[in-house]
Amino acid sequence: MSKATPSYVAKVSAARHRLWPGRAPLLGQLDLELTERCNNDCIHCCINLQENDSAAKKWELATDEITAILREAASLGVLSARFTGGEPLLREDFQDLYIFARRLGLKVMLFTNARLITPDLARLFARIPPLEKIEVTVYGMRRESYEAVSRVPGSFDEFRRGVGLLLNKKVPFVVKGAVLPPNWKEMEEFETWAITIPAMDTPPTYAMFFDLRGRRDSTAKNRLIRRLRVTPEDGVILLRRRGRAYLQEMRQFCGKFMGPPGDLLFSCGAGHGACVDAYGMVQPCLLMRHPDMVYDLKKGSLKDALTNFFPRLREETRAANPDYLARCARCFLKGLCEQCPAKSWAEHGALDTPVEYFCRVAHAQARDLGLLRDGERAWEVNGWKERILRYDN
Amino acid sequence: MTISLDAVYAVSDDVVAREIEGEIIIVPLVAGIGDLEDELFTLNETGRAIWDKLDGRRSLNEIIKELSAEYQAPPGELEADVLGLVSELARRRMLVAV
């Protein structure tokens, strides 16, 4: 026992390495996709099903199945659960699930379009705070632009009302955008509004390099999503809007995460957390829907997925596609490129096919940062380490 | 805040206490426990030893006696630690007298 301790209680950072130096709980992050259904029908969405899709609703996990997952996740040491979708507030048992998670001592991170925030729900978030800022995606600053994206009449007013309720109850939330043809001229207006939101301590982030449908369920929708993607060159201009902060981040990032990944397909953080889809399949990340890469929780446990299934996937899933081996496996832009097995699956129905769009984006970004010269292909650059060192310094 | 050594304390319903990898993590359940809305709390080694005995049944005096035997430390020294921890946790609404 100590006499000289000034305080017995310490505030802790949720960063796992600071809480448990040298060791960490088995489960670092839990994502729960509560439903794939959404009350918006966004033109660029890679997940959403119709709000009234009765077949999807029928197959969704029941309340007690989700509470059992939350209970196991808590027992594995997770601190935070992300409730996402689809629109998670569409679930009639949302409040029960939220309170259950919070009573287990979990923080809850909610991703929502805010349309279904009610006075009751705002009061609940004020009384029992999620302990993570709610994240609200904004599709436009005006009815015309918002609803050109959401494709639901009345959705803009509902979103504004939901956000107003959160503000009124002082519930901390942040906003983020999606750069799309109907709203791209409103970015400055969006950012000017965003800085008035009390919990916004950094500028809003944007989605712009959109993913195709993770379930590979609609070629028509995929065609539309492809048309909505910004060009690599415009993407670079948009990234550059953040000025020095972007360049500083890139410098740090490139110093840490560049280098050829080889033939191991999971060189990312996939499989270190658990992403449970609406039907009880655990995915190694939110995007990965390949049937051989997911684990059925109804026949097993999170612990088994984390200790047996995912480690095996990470170790054994290797590229065989000659095009991938000749390019991606040897490419030092791995840290900049969004190429991954999940995106390869969504685009091509295989885990190891290069996704040309992400390749072009990464090359455009690398040229802009001075890591590549015009006409160079990153997998052919021999002195990449020197380039990174020069850039890092 | 005056703390009586005859009082019995228990963990408040306003927080959830979890043990993760050997650490006690105190998670606010309701608003107003932390200064910021996303704060979690943990205990130092001394706090942890006392915390384990705050079960809503034993008085602080009884806890001091038990700790004194376990750690072979003078009760007077332990009293300062127990009162220090309990007043800090009670001030933060993490403990309540039962």
Residue A234: helix, strand or coil by DSSP? Answer: helix
Structure-token pair, residue A293? 């890469």
At A4 the pLDDT is: 47
Pairwise CB contact (< 8 Å): B67 & A14 = no
* Distance, first Cα to last Cα, chain A: 48
Pairwise CB contact (< 8 Å): A11 & B41 = yes
Mean pLDDT of A62-81: 97
At B37 the pLDDT is: 64
Question: Which chain B positions have a beta carbon within 8 Å of A127's beta carbon?
Answer: 30-31
- Measured between alpha carbons, how far is A19 from A335 in angstroms, rounded to an integer? 27
Residues 6+ apart with CB under 8 A from A114: A136, A158, A159, A162, A163, A166, A173
User: For residue A3, is pLDDT > 60?
Assistant: no
Q: Give A379's DSSP letter.
A: G
Residues 6+ apart with CB under 8 A from A379: A260, A326, A327, A328, A329, A330, A331, A332
At B36 the pLDDT is: 66
With b meaning 16 or more CB within 10 Å and e meaning fewer, what string describes A50-89?
ebebeebbeebbeeeebbebbebbbbbbbbbbbbbbbbbb
**CATH code for the part of the protein at B9-97:** 1.10.10.1150
User: For residue A18, is pLDDT > 90?
Assistant: no
Structure-token pair, residue B74? 């003078």
Mean pLDDT of A37-61: 97
Pairwise CB contact (< 8 Å): B20 & A77 = yes
Percent of chain A clearing pLDDT 70 (strictly above): 95
Give me the residues of A, 56-95, that contact B with CB < 8 A. Answer: 74, 77, 79
Domain residue ranges in chain A: 25-257
Structure-token pair, residue A157? 């007013």
Report yes or no: B25 at the A interface, CB cutoff 8 Å: yes
Task: Please give the model's pTM, rounded to 2 decimal places.
Answer: 0.94
Report yes or no: B30 at the A interface, CB cutoff 8 Å: yes
- Measured between alpha carbons, how far is B67 from B81 in angstroms, rounded to an integer? 11
Report yes or no: A220 at the B interface, CB cutoff 8 Å: no
Report yes or no: A169 at the B interface, CB cutoff 8 Å: no
Task: Write down how long chain B is.
Answer: 98
What is the per-residue pLDDT across A254-273, written as a single tens digit (0 to 9) for each?
A: 888 999 999 999 988 898 89
Contact B68, B78 (CB under 8 A): yes
What is the per-residue pLDDT across A115-130, written as a single tens digit (0 to 9) for each?
A: 999 999 999 999 999 9
Q: Which residue has the higher pLDDT, A324 or A10?
A: A324
Percent of chain A clearing pLDDT 90 (strictly above): 88
Among A80, A132, A11, A21, smallest CA distance to B42 is for A11
Question: Which chain B positions have a beta carbon within 8 Å of A71's beta carbon?
Answer: none
- Counting one residue from chain A and one from chain B, the pairs whose CB atoms sit within 8 A come to 111
Pairwise CB contact (< 8 Å): A126 & B31 = yes
- Measured between alpha carbons, how far is B63 from B3 in angstroms, rounded to an integer? 14
At A13 the pLDDT is: 62
Q: Give A134's DSSP letter.
A: E
Q: Give B20's DSSP letter.
A: E
Cα nearest neighbour of B51 on chain A: A8
User: For residue B74, is pLDDT > 50?
Assistant: yes
**Chain A: closest CA distance from residue B32 (Å):** 9
CATH topology of domain A25-257: TIM Barrel (3.20.20)
Q: Which of A2, A7, A9, A133 to mutate to test the interface with B (most CBs of B within 10 A)?
A: A9
Question: Which chain A positions have a beta carbon within 8 Å of B3's beta carbon?
Answer: none
What is the rounded average pLDDT for all residues in chain A? 94
User: For residue A56, is pLDDT > 70?
Assistant: yes
CB burial of residue A192 (10 Å; 0-12, 13-18, 19+): exposed
Contact A275, A289 (CB under 8 A): no
Report yes or no: A20 at the B interface, CB cutoff 8 Å: yes
Task: Write down how long chain A is.
Answer: 393
Amino acid type, A235: G
Structure-token pair, residue A362? 């990464």
Contact A343, A337 (CB under 8 A): no
Question: Which chain A positions have a beta carbon within 8 Å of B21's beta carbon?
Answer: 19-20, 23-25, 77
User: For residue A276, is pLDDT > 60?
Assistant: yes
